[in-house]
Structure 1
Amino acid sequence: MTVNLTSRTTQALDATVAATGDTQTDVINRAIQVYAYLEQAMARGELIYLEDPEKQMRERLRFF
C-alpha cells in the first residue's frame, strides 16, 4: 500500500515517532485504529471529551 501524506501530516508522523519511539508503520496502524474507534463511538451517539486535570476543564472534541 502506498500512502501520500501532506507535509503537515508528515510532520505529525515524525513528531509522534520521535515521542513514542514506535516505527512509522506502528504509528500509522495505531492512528487508523483510533480513528475507527472514534468513528464507531460517534456513530453510536457517544460524546468524546478532552480533559485538562490541572485546569479542571473538559472540552468536547468534534471531528469533521
Structure 2
Amino acid sequence: MSKAEASVRERITVNLTPKSVQALEALTGNTGDTKTDTINRALQLYEFLDRVTREGGKVYVQESESETLERVRFL
C-alpha cells in the first residue's frame, strides 16, 4: 500500500442491527480493540473472504471440539 493509499480516510455513519451491536460489543470486550478498529478488521476480513470465494477458493472452519472441517458458504 502506498503512502497516498494509507492516508485516505473516510468517515461514515452506520446503522447497526441489534445482532450486530451484540457482536461488536462481544468483540471489543474480547479483544480490547476499539469499535473503529473492530469494524475496520471486520471489513478487511470480509473483503478477503469475498475475494477468495469469488476466485474459486473455499473457506473452512473447525470448531475447537471437533475434528471435522466445515465449509463456510457466503450468501
1:53 positional shift: 5.3
User: Structure 1 residues 51 and 15, CA, compared in 2 at 3 Å: closer, same or farther?
Assistant: same
1:43 to 28, 44, 54: 54
TM-score computed with the length of structure 2 as normaliser: 0.81
Aligned partner of 2:9 in structure 1 is none
Q: Identity, % of aligned pairs? A: 45
Runs of 4+ in 1 over 3 A off after TM superposition: none
SS at match of 2:62: strand
Aligned partner letter, 2:53: M
CA separation in 2, counterparts of 1:8 and 1:40?
A: 25
Cross-structure match for 2:38: 27
Q: Which has the higher contact order (CA 8 A, sep 6+)?
A: 1
So what's the TM-score if we normalise by structure 1?
Answer: 0.94
Q: Structure 1 residues 54, 8: CA separation in 2 closer, same or farther (over 3 Å shift)?
A: closer
Equivalences, count? 64
Structure 2: how far apart are the matches of 1:53 and 1:18? 21
